[in-house]
Amino acid sequence: MEESTGSSVRSHCVGSTTVIYASDYLNKLSGEKIERECKRQLDLGCRALVIDFGNTELVNSIGISILLGIIDIAEKNGAQVVFSDVNRQTVELFEMLGLTRHVVLARDEHEALSTLAGIRTSVAAIGS
């Protein structure tokens, strides 16, 4: 497992999946840091992203718009995105703004990684 805080965003890689930890307030600045880290990891060959919101208490609409941008970038790179440990209020906001249509929600990081492993297994089975 490789851990990084190079761009002030804590992240670590589990195989080809990168787990990125959002801060307590997801706004423009912290959103852009996550975005930069996601791009960096995708450029390094990452095939899936888990963004963990376990520490996040509050998100604003600018932060959410950046998350939508991340989802777009991941899709273009053929990468999966899972949001984990999102609190109930934030889930409601994501639902209001349509994020949940494009992203899988997981209870925690472990479930996120399991979900991604399951997806990859299914994809591999379809391909074989």
Q: How far apart are CA 37 and CA 91, in angstroms?
A: 23
Residue spans of alpha helices (H) in 18-107: 28-43, 61-76, 88-96
Given a contact cutoff of 8 angstroms between Cβ atoms, the answer to whether 51 and 60 are in contact is no
Which residue, 20 or 93, is less far from other proteins as judged by CB? 93
- Residue 110 C-beta: closest distance to other proteins, Å: 26
Q: Which is nearer to other proteins, 25 or 36 (CB)?
A: 25
**Residue among 17, 95, 94 nearest 53 (CA):** 94
Which chain residues interact with other proteins by CB under 8 A?
25, 27, 29, 58-62, 64-65, 68-69, 88-89, 93, 95-98, 101
- Spatial separation of the C-alpha atoms in residues 106 and 60, rounded to whole Å: 21
Query: Which CB, 36 or 102, lies closer to other proteins?
Result: 102
| Least Cβ distance, residue 98 to other proteins (angstroms) | 3
Q: How far is the CB of 72 from other proteins (least distance, A)?
A: 9
The span from the CA of 6 to the CA of 47, in Å, is: 20
The nearer residue to other proteins, 25 or 40, going by C-beta atoms, is 25
